[in-house]
Amino acid sequence: MEKNIFAELIAKALQLQERAVANTLSLLEEGCTIPFISRYRKERTGGLDEVQIAAISDRYDKLKEIQKRKETVTKTITDLEKMTPELQQRIDACWDATELEDIYLPYKPKRRTRAQVAREQGLEPLAQILLVQRERDPERAAERFIKGDVKDADAAIKGAQDIIAETVSEDERSRQQLRNAFSRQAIISSKVIKAKADTDEAAKYSDYFDWSEPLKRCSSHRLLAMRRGEDEGILRVTISPNDEEAAERLKRHYIYGNTPCGQLVAEAIDDGYKRLLKPAIETEFAALSKEKADEEAIHVFAENLRQLLLGAPLGQKRVMGVDPGFRTGCKVVCLDAQGNLLHHEAIFPHPPVNKRTEAAVAIQKMIKKYQIEAISIGNGTASRETEHFIKDALAGKYNIDTDLKSQTSTLKPQVFVVSESGASVYSASKIAREEFPDEDVTVRGAVSIGRRLMDPLAELVKIDPKSIGVGQYQHDVDQTKLKHSLDQTVESCVNSVGVNLNTASQHLLMYVSGLGPTLAKNIVDYRKEHGAFTSRAELKKVPRLGPSAYQQCAGFLRIPDAKNPLDNSAVHPESYPIVEQMAKDHACTVADLINNKEKREAVDIKKYVTAEVGIPTLTDIMKELEKPGRDPREQLEEFEFDKNVSTIDDLVEGMVLPGIVTNITNFGAFVDIGVHQDGLVHISQMANRRIAHPLDVVKLHQHIQVRVIEVDRRRNRISLSMKGI
């Protein structure tokens, strides 16, 4: 019954078919993962994608939280012996968290308030007399309540006003009315705390020293910046509607004329508004606006992370990884096609050491000895200088031994510059220590730079996403929600690409649908003991990997040289009999179906529809047979910065330069143009038309052309434009 209500509520909120939502909830309850449901259960979900299924899952979790809260509210009110059938009916029918708290508020246990003290003094009847506003002489009425701690009529009236102030502030109608006022006209204001105005830490918040704007127009990055300034004790941030207008609207519901009682009620409402109601609704809107800003920032971060993880891989090539540096030299590592470390050494081609010829000889020797096919250079300090040096070394511009030069002339490794964000975090991590217990952090960092050229996804999953450098205020948003979103993104990316069962690291395997840290470790341990897997079915022999986990993970794991070619595809083992029947019906093998286009085109998939398997699954199977195990990622392209520009001093307004998008925010995109300081293309400079979000125009690591429109050398800021290029 409860699940039916949840399905109905979620379907209505997300505008989806109730049956599809109900089936999705059932699959989630069975322990199915989002990637598995979206790929292999399309018949049951009506073809819902991962985003829709994730939204269903999130709303389901929220509804379950509300249900738990309703149980607590019901128990508390019942224990107070104040539950009525009407109140119980309202609670049962309520699925809005704010509305539920409004219903509960008058009954909610609270600290001893001024109103509570007045009630204990027996002043509740006087408060009711004042609210009815029929008494012509309220002071005379108040005299009847003078006793104990109530010394005179003024004290009685004051206590009654405290009760009225609290009653009005806890009234659902009052609260909703003020919420409407906040929604329509609330202004968010930020002012600097005078004592901090001239400090260095306050300088970055100078835009917000005296700032105000309508809350509904405040962008997420501005709101998060103000809240960060507030947390650091530099800014004071308030949210407020038109107080006078809001209080007057409130009074209209309670005051019936210009009478002595009415005036006392008006005073009580003013007090309740300032002291109780407005602070409560301001806190509520502060939380709601922060939550909305968090959601936007998390969405941008997740999209950036997705694009980064799905960056084009070089593939299994022999790679030289270079972590550039000036004084400490460049750390160079040589990796085999599987990413294993073969050799490492340091070279010193830059000042102050300047051993360029020796460094060039060392590079040529390593290329020859380890048959290097590509060179990956980190984009940090000395990156441009190292790239120029290595290209010159490859071109033979240094006095290198003639025999060595001739021996390496047949090897022309491609040179790439890759983002090294997070490499230092990885190099000091437990994962890196386990992989390279005998190497120092500089070697581990260079290995990471080399590997992320070969396969960005496999390497970047080892790093906390917050350390990859593609976020917007990632340390200011709700950390639980951020982790949930980023984990979902990583899981989605890993499963959309698929994982080589025989080469994947434990850390990569743990993101595969249905696995996790324990089963991933068990798979790696089994592989070490028994050698490479020869079939997906062999997974069933892995300790603790039961039928449910096998069902969830099998379709996302690949075995390139398996006897059954379907083991290197996204066809799920549960569908193997269908493909085998197709092959049998056309007098060929499964391999023939994969290799022969005519054979595939002769298959009429409608003949293979069953109660469980429909056209969506069969269509996916045929697509997979066409290109089994295909990688959805794009091909890697070489990129070169403008050779005439290497520092911010080389920039001139009007220059058109090649650049790489390094980060995307709500307000624009940061672009590396090779001067050790990223420039900003503001959203207004991205196109000759109005765009909703930078993600509509650019993607992470995209190669673009930009025009320099302003260079602020004092603040080290570069403004760029993509218009008209």
Lowest mean pLDDT among 52-56, 177-181, 477-481, 718-722: 477-481
Q: pLDDT confidence of 173, banded at 50, 70, 90?
A: very high
Residues 6+ apart with CB under 8 A from 351: 326
Q: How far is CA 556 from CA 40, 74, 256, 513, 631, in A?
A: 11, 46, 70, 7, 12
The Cα 580–Cα 206 span in angstroms is 69
Q: What's the mean pLDDT when you consider all of the chain? A: 93
- At residue 421, the pLDDT reads 86
> Which DSSP symbol is given to 314?
-
- Cβ–Cβ under 8 Å, residues 596 and 646: no
Q: What average pLDDT does the segment 199-206 reach?
A: 89
Task: Report percent pLDDT > 70 for the chain.
Answer: 98
> Which DSSP symbol is given to 674?
S
Lowest mean pLDDT among 88-97, 397-406, 454-463, 621-630: 397-406
- At residue 17, the pLDDT reads 96
- At residue 395, the pLDDT reads 86
- At residue 401, the pLDDT reads 61
Residues 6+ apart with CB under 8 A from 170: 105, 106
In which region does residue 634 sit, left (phi positive, over 0), alpha (psi from -120 to 50) or beta (all else)? beta
Q: Strand order of the sheet with strand 187-192? A: 210-214, 187-192, 235-240
Q: What average pLDDT does the segment 180-195 reach?
A: 95
Span 320-357, pLDDT tens digits: 999 999 999 999 999 999 999 999 999 999 999 999 99
Question: Is residue 634 predicted with pLDDT exceeding 90?
Answer: no
Lowest mean pLDDT among 107-111, 127-131, 153-157, 491-495: 107-111
- At residue 403, the pLDDT reads 56
Question: Is residue 486 predicted with pLDDT exceeding 80?
Answer: yes
Q: Pick from 565, 570, 607: which is nearest to 588 by CA?
A: 565
The Cα 383–Cα 390 span in angstroms is 11
Q: What average pLDDT does the segment 286-305 reach?
A: 93
* Encoded tokens for 214: 């309508």
Q: pLDDT confidence of 466, banded at 50, 70, 90?
A: confident
Q: Is 632 exposed, middle or buried (0-12, 13-18, 19+ CB in 10 A)?
A: exposed
Q: pLDDT confidence of 397, banded at 50, 70, 90?
A: confident
The Cα 95–Cα 38 span in angstroms is 28
* Encoded tokens for 408: 């390496």
Span 528-582, pLDDT tens digits: 999 999 999 999 999 999 999 999 999 999 999 899 999 999 999 999 999 999 9
Provide the β-strand partners of residue 719: 680, 710
What residue has token string 């029929």? 134
Q: How far is CA 478 from CA 103, 232, 296, 297, 522, in A?
A: 27, 17, 12, 10, 33
Residues 6+ apart with CB under 8 A from 93: none
Span 267-281, pLDDT tens digits: 999 999 999 999 999
The Cα 447–Cα 396 span in angstroms is 26
Q: How far is CA 252 from CA 176, 177, 278, in A?
A: 15, 11, 17
Query: What does the chain come to in residues?
Result: 725
Longest Cα pair distance anywhere in the chain, in angstroms? 115
Q: pLDDT confidence of 2, banded at 50, 70, 90?
A: low
- At residue 386, the pLDDT reads 95
- At residue 540, the pLDDT reads 97
- Cβ–Cβ under 8 Å, residues 377 and 449: yes
Question: Is residue 399 predicted with pLDDT exceeding 70?
Answer: no
The Cα 254–Cα 234 span in angstroms is 41
Degrees to nearest 5, angle at CA 362 with 359 and 366: 140
The Cα 579–Cα 571 span in angstroms is 9
On the CB side of 407, how many CA atoms lie within 13 Å of its CA?
14
- CB atoms near residue 100 (< 10 Å): 17
- At residue 408, the pLDDT reads 53
> Which DSSP symbol is given to 30?
T
Q: pLDDT confidence of 664, banded at 50, 70, 90?
A: very high
On the CB side of 428, how many CA atoms lie within 13 Å of its CA?
5
Residues 6+ apart with CB under 8 A from 64: 6
- CB atoms near residue 400 (< 10 Å): 17
Alpha helices in 470-558 (DSSP H): 479-497, 506-509, 517-530, 547-553
The Cα 287–Cα 215 span in angstroms is 12
Q: pLDDT confidence of 412, banded at 50, 70, 90?
A: confident
Span 29-43, pLDDT tens digits: 999 999 999 999 999
Provide the β-strand partners of residue 710: 719
Question: Is residue 407 predicted with pLDDT exceeding 70?
Answer: no
Q: What average pLDDT does the segment 214-234 reach?
A: 94
What residue has token string 């968010």? 188
Q: How far is Cα of residue 702 from the mean position of the Cα atoms in its chain? A: 20
Q: Is 170 exposed, middle or buried (0-12, 13-18, 19+ CB in 10 A)?
A: buried
- At residue 452, the pLDDT reads 94
Q: pLDDT confidence of 714, banded at 50, 70, 90?
A: confident
Q: pLDDT confidence of 283, banded at 50, 70, 90?
A: very high
Question: Is residue 414 predicted with pLDDT exceeding 60?
Answer: yes
Question: Is residue 676 predicted with pLDDT exceeding 90?
Answer: no
Span 362-382, pLDDT tens digits: 999 999 999 999 999 999 899
Provide the β-strand partners of residue 320: 334, 375
Q: What average pLDDT does the segment 704-718 reach?
A: 93
Q: Is 157 exposed, middle or buried (0-12, 13-18, 19+ CB in 10 A)?
A: buried
In which region does residue 473 sit, left (phi positive, over 0), alpha (psi from -120 to 50) or beta (all else)? left
Residues 6+ apart with CB under 8 A from 717: 680, 710, 711
The Cα 528–Cα 502 span in angstroms is 10
